[in-house]
């Protein structure tokens, strides 16, 4: 049974859906009172890791997640996105090329927009050619904030 709870974050409330021991969804801008509070061990782990991520204390999520739905191509894109290291960016075109279809950058963008687990599966790390800030299901302001957070944390860790 899927349980949904809300985690407050620097980019607004996030609705987090957990089924068993796996996160299966994250949604932006969840209306107040629309979800319960964390209850299961997986809920608590997901909530703690998201809070730690936004505090700059976590760079790699360990909470288990399941990518459900989507086409075969979308799932392949989501799996590529899940491998992007913290604080790094990759272009839509580079993902398309990695999947064997260099002309599929727009389709990669559509798949990113349909990512069911943003933040944990970091589609915000995917940018346009030349690092251009384009597209994000949560809005460009949220994407910018996520990238700035990661850049700040990476810089702090590198320089102490």
pLDDT category, 154, cuts 50, 70, 90? confident
Compute the distance between CA of residue 86 and CA of residue 58 in angstroms, rounded to an integer.
10
Compute the distance between CA of residue 134 and CA of residue 139 in angstroms, rounded to an integer.
9
Q: Are 23 and 59 in contact (CB under 8 A)?
A: no
Other residues' Cβ atoms within 10 Å of the Cβ of residue 153? 18
How many residues belong to the chain? Answer: 160
- The mean pLDDT of 4-18, rounded to a whole number, is 92
Q: Which member of 105, 117, 123, 126 is catalytic?
A: 123
CATH number of 72-159: 1.10.10.10
**Percent of the chain beyond pLDDT 70?**
94
pLDDT over 60 at 38, yes or no:
no
- The mean pLDDT of 135-141, rounded to a whole number, is 90
- The mean pLDDT of 78-101, rounded to a whole number, is 96
At 126, is the secondary structure helix, strand, or coil?
strand
Q: Is-catalytic flag, 123?
A: yes
Nearest to 139 by CA among 113, 115, 110: 113
- The mean pLDDT of 75-102, rounded to a whole number, is 96
Number of H helices, E strands in the chain: 5, 5
Residue 155: the pLDDT is 86
pLDDT over 80 at 34, yes or no:
no
pLDDT over 80 at 128, yes or no:
yes
Longest dimension (CA), the chain: 45
Considering only residues 160 and 92, tell me which one the structure prediction assigns the higher pLDDT: 92
Compute the distance between CA of residue 14 and CA of residue 28 in angstroms, rounded to an integer.
5
Residue 9: the pLDDT is 93
- The mean pLDDT of 58-73, rounded to a whole number, is 95
Domain ranges of the chain: 2-54, 72-159
pLDDT category, 46, cuts 50, 70, 90? very high
Compute the distance between CA of residue 27 and CA of residue 119 in angstroms, rounded to an integer.
10
Maximum mean pLDDT: which of 42-46, 118-122, 153-157: 118-122
In the structure encoding, which two tokens stand for residue 47, read together? Answer: 């909530």
Return mean pLDDT, the chain. Answer: 91
Considering only residues 1 and 90, tell me which one the structure prediction assigns the higher pLDDT: 90
């Amino acid at each position: 049974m899927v349980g949904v709870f809300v985690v407050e974050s620097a980019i607004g409330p996030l609705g987090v859906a957990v089924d068993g021991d796996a996160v299966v969804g994250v949604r932006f801008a969840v209306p107040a009172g629309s979800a319960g509070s964390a209850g299961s061990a997986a809920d608590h782990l997901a909530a703690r890791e998201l809070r730690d991520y936004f505090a700059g204390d976590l760079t790699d999520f360990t909470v288990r997640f399941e990518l459900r739905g989507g086409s075969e191509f979308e799932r392949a894109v989501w799996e590529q996105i899940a491998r992007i290291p913290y604080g790094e960016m990759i272009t839509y075109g580079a993902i398309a090329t990695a999947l064997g279809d260099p002309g599929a950058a727009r389709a990669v963008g559509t798949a990113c927009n349909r990512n069911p687990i943003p933040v944990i599966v970091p589609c915000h790390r995917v940018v346009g050619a030349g690092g251009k800030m384009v597209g994000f299901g949560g809005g460009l302001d949220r994407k910018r904030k996520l990238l700035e957070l990661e850049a700040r944390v990476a810089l702090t860790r590198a320089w102490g």
